[in-house]
Amino acid sequence: DAVQRPRPPGAPAPRPPQPPRLPLGGPTPPRPHLLVHVRDRGPGIPPADLEHLFEPFYRGERAKADHLRGTGLGLSLVAEIARAHGGAITAQNLPAGGAEFTLRLPAALPEQYDEFAHPAR
């Protein structure tokens, strides 16, 4: 919130965010990340197609049989863009039907950027 509001009487002062604390020699904290889940309610992805979805020019048998237009580049481009940013994309069928795509991208830590979203110097 960009507007500073007065604290109600008796309210505790806000505490600045603290970085996670780990004991010396402990594991490295996991890097924060952003997850985007996209689900549909369709018939799902045929198991034979799942392992090839992100290959350039791959079109599933159902798309070919239904004469759906496309080049098979969309998902391969998404996968390349995700990898270029240190992330990944996965696809799976849901038990109740449909499919879910999950895009995972690393999140920048606040101290890495200034208030204008420029890299900190």
By percentage, how much of the chain surpasses pLDDT 70? 72
* pTM of this prediction exceeds 0.85: no
For 30-83, the pLDDT digits (tens) are 678 899 999 999 999 999 999 999 999 998 887 877 777 888 899 999 999 999
Cα dihedral 111, 27, 80, 71 sign:
negative
